[in-house]
Structure 1
């Protein structure tokens, strides 16, 4: 316990800032605020650095890819029927065809990336790192499209990241992903309630 407390006390400013921007981003996304994406971009920039120092190379690439995806999400959520010819993005459910495609991407992506990490890097827990990375990419795309089940995908990915960051001794990051898991659960329940009210 003393070791964990000491490590928390020695946590870098980068890790604290990455944690804070990530939490704010998730909170704002639950509330459907486009500003969430700015905080996500800041968080991902910081976690590119942290992932590199933790030898979580798939997570590093993931966070780098998330930067332009977040810019895309910001544009998607910033749409308004008053100032755009395109319809505003609204919360919806993932259809069966999307589920099938996303499931195939998750399986093939994890296998391919996991083999690459295992054979060409010294990364920690390569297949778990790969799975968390691929599911996170899927979840981020789903969030940009405001698909309800994005929160379920985040719960799965965040649970994997809890293991990955804990394995490397990044306790603040681990705590952040614990909070992310709770917030993703809250987001799912909140969005499901909103869909239920729309469907009445």
Structure 2
């Protein structure tokens, strides 16, 4: 356990809480947390998760700009509902990404859990993509992914991070509750 891990955990929890409230400030807080966790995961030899933090940083920059353009007059973002096909395509892409990334990790790194690391990374990227697109279903995917991450982090002795991800599960449940799609706009008569 390090001060960097603890600070990363606090900022990550704050970022998810802010996102569940549809607050724009979630993005700079997420960016700071991703930088700290990139370092933590490199030290723990969780290479896919370290690279995931770099991908998150890119999504944060994109999401920040994307949300800024689509906020409502009250400053909150509009929630969207994807089609079933969009959801299925995303899940299939996550599986494909998992397979490719697991092969790379198993062949070229000393990652102790390449399949788990790759699968959680691929589906985290998908969840972040859905978050950026403002899909309510992002929270359901985060519940599943974060549950698996708790076990992974306990196995790697990253206890503050395991506690953080257990908290993420609760925040994701709350995010799903709060992110109700906006009703369709009434057409003028």
TM-score (norm 1): 0.86
**For the Cα contact (< 8 Å) 2:128–2:138, is it kept in 1?**
yes
| Residue from 20, 27, 40 that aligns with 1:50 | 40
| Residue from 49, 65, 71 that aligns with 2:55 | 65
SS of the residue aligned with 1:78?
helix
> 2:88 — aligned with what?
100
Higher relative contact order (CA 8 A, sep 6+): 2
Distance 2:123 2:104 in 1: 17
Structure 1 segments, 4+ long, off by >2 Å, are 80-83
> 1:142 — aligned with what?
130
**For the Cα contact (< 8 Å) 1:155–1:184, is it kept in 2?**
yes
Instruction: Please tell me whether residue 169 in structure 1 is matched to residue 157 in structure 2.
Output: yes
**For the Cα contact (< 8 Å) 1:76–1:89, is it kept in 2?**
no
1:190, distance to aligned residue in structure 2 (A): 1.6
Instruction: Please tell me whether residue 32 in structure 1 is matched to residue 17 in structure 2.
Output: no
**For the Cα contact (< 8 Å) 1:18–1:46, is it kept in 2?**
yes
**For the Cα contact (< 8 Å) 2:70–2:78, is it kept in 1?**
no
Residues 130-168 of structure 1, C-alpha deviation per residue, up to 9 Å, x if partnerless?
Answer: 111011001111111110000011112111211221111
Distance 1:124 1:164 in 2: 11
Query: In angstroms, what is the RMSD of aligned CA positions?
Result: 2.0
1:80, distance to aligned residue in structure 2 (A): 4.9
Distance 2:63 2:7 in 1: 22
> 1:121 — aligned with what?
109
1:76, distance to aligned residue in structure 2 (A): 1.1
1:59, distance to aligned residue in structure 2 (A): 0.2
1:100, distance to aligned residue in structure 2 (A): 2.2
